[in-house]
């Protein structure tokens, strides 16, 4: 009750409601509060105790629930204009959450590069015994190894695994592969460091296989850079705990890319099925043509430009932006997009603007569909829930078409023309 009073006074201070409206709201709240039975209060307390919502979502839901309660009170009191303004306040709050989540995901990645690493360089040497930090501080010997070879098979397995370090793979027009390994190792002197470097890398080379697994300790790192003939079929298994993964210019791929703390960047990639996952960092895809693409991150944005017959994108704190393209065979595309704190935007090319089916919903903020000739199956708008299910008139007869499923809790959804 006190929290609702504070929120009312705050809105008066900001000029969003008048003093008379504030008095009416407080009176209505007191009347409503006096009618709640002990059983109802106990039931609400039990629900709150049993909640498993994350702290970030709980803060958002708590603020929204206060505004919703005030809105319901105003509506019950018959003041539709005040109810509308309170609903606008809730939408504004949702927009702020969306922008804050997207900003947070960007700040995390920028500060690691600009602030964290330089600051760690000045820490005492004893911090080098801590995993991850050990790569950035203390005395290291950097050793670079290069080699090259040939893949005789048309299908090649690439397994690249490192705990601390980046992975970069690119396709090129040469008929051989070139491998560059950069190792950061500790040793009492240079000779000891080189001996240690020889122990870190476990490598297996074959006519249709390249396997590199890091045996580095917590204070060491292995960075992998690989150039390969771009026309072969590559089965990818890339994994790192602390580092970014970049893959580009490969014409036929299948497999998975995983990192815990770092960005994933895919560029000019074609193939059957590709999974890319990171915990803290963005996932960015440019010029892709993949039959099935699965992308996920916990704290970061997802951006896709290209064709995927089926695209699934999941993030908790960050926005999702998709720019679909037409496939070579004019197949139907499906987008399944989901975020908790962030907006979703899909920009459709001309050929898909009249060949779209969509089912989109959110809890807060607006849904904007900038397409013409829509046939609505569901068009629901209520305080705290919005949903549109519709299709363009040309969807049923189109050869190249797209289905869009989009869900977000705190953020807007926009389906628009490119």
Residue-wise pLDDT for 134-177, tens only, equals 544 446 788 889 999 999 999 999 999 998 899 999 999 999 99
Q: Is 374:358 a contact under the CB 8 Å cutoff?
A: no
How much is the average pLDDT of 21-49? 54
Query: Which pair of structure tokens corresponds to residue 139?
Result: 């005395």
Residue 94 has what pLDDT?
60
* 18-27, 216-225, 366-375 — most confident range: 366-375
Residue 21 has pLDDT above 50, yes or no: yes
Residue 53 has pLDDT above 70, yes or no: no
- DSSP letters along 337-384, please? EEEEES-EEEEE-GGGTTSEEEEEEESSS-EEE--SSEEEEEEEEETT
Residue 127 has pLDDT above 60, yes or no: no
pLDDT, tens digit, for every residue of 64-102? 555 555 666 565 655 566 656 666 666 666 666 556 655
Mean pLDDT, rounded, of the chain: 80
Residue 189 has what pLDDT?
77
* Of residues 363, 308, 331, the one with CA closest to residue 65: 363
Distance CA 313, CA 325 (A): 16
Residue 140 has what pLDDT?
73
How much is the average pLDDT of 393-398? 92
Residue 309 has what pLDDT?
95
Residue 88 has what pLDDT?
65
pLDDT, tens digit, for every residue of 193-249? 788 888 888 999 999 999 999 988 777 889 999 999 999 999 999 999 888 999 999
pTM of the model: 0.74
Residue 411 has pLDDT above 90, yes or no: no
- The residues that bridge with 413 in the sheet, in sequence order, are 344, 367
Residue 117 has pLDDT above 50, yes or no: no
């Amino acid at each position: 009750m006190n929290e609702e009073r504070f929120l009312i006074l705050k809105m008066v201070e900001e000029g969003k409601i008048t003093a008379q409206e504030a008095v009416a709201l407080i009176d209505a709240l007191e009347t409503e509060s006096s009618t709640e039975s002990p059983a109802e209060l106990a039931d609400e307390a039990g629900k709150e105790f049993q909640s498993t919502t994350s702290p970030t979502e709980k803060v958002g839901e708590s603020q929204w629930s206060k505004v919703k309660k005030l809105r319901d009170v105003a509506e019950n009191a018959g003041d539709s204009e005040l109810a509308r303004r309170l609903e606008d306040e809730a939408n504004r709050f949702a927009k702020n959450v969306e922008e804050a989540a997207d900003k947070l995901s960007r700040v995390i990645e920028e500060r690691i590069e600009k602030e964290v690493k330089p600051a760690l360089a000045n820490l005492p040497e004893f911090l080098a015994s801590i995993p991850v930090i050990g790569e950035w501080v203390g005395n290291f010997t950097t050793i670079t190894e290069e080699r090259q070879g040939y893949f005789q098979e048309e299908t090649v397995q690439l397994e690249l695994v490192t705990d601390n370090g980046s992975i970069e793979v690119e396709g090129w027009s040469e008929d051989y592969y070139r491998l560059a390994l950069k190792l950061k190792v500790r040793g009492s002197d240079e000779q000891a460091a080189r001996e240690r470097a020889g122990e870190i890398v476990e490598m297996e080379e074959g006519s249709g296989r390249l396997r590199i697994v890091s045996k580095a300790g917590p204070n060491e790192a292995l960075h992998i850079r690989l150039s390969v003939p771009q026309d072969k079929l590559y089965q990818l298994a890339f994994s790192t705990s602390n580092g970014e993964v970049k893959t580009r210019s490969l014409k036929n791929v299948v497999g998975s890319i995983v990192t815990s703390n770092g960005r994933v960047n895919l560029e000019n990639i074609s193939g059957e099925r590709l999974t890319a996952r990171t915990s803290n960092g963005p996932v960015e895809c440019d010029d892709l043509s993949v039959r099935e693409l699965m992308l996920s991150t916990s704290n970061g944005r997802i951006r896709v430009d290209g064709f995927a017959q089926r695209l699934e994108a999941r993030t908790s704190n960050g926005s999702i932006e998709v720019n679909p393209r037409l496939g070579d065979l004019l197949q139907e595309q499906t987008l399944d997009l989901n975020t908790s704190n962030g907006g979703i935007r899909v920009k459709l090319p001309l050929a898909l603007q009249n060949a779209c089916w969509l089912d989109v919903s959110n809890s807060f903020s607006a849904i904007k569909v900038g397409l013409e000739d829509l046939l609505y199956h569901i068009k629901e708008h209520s305080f705290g829930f919005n949903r549109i299910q519709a299709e363009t008139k040309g969807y049923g007869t189109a050869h190249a078409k797209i289905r869009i499923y989009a869900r977000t809790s705190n953020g807007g959804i926009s389906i628009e023309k490119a």
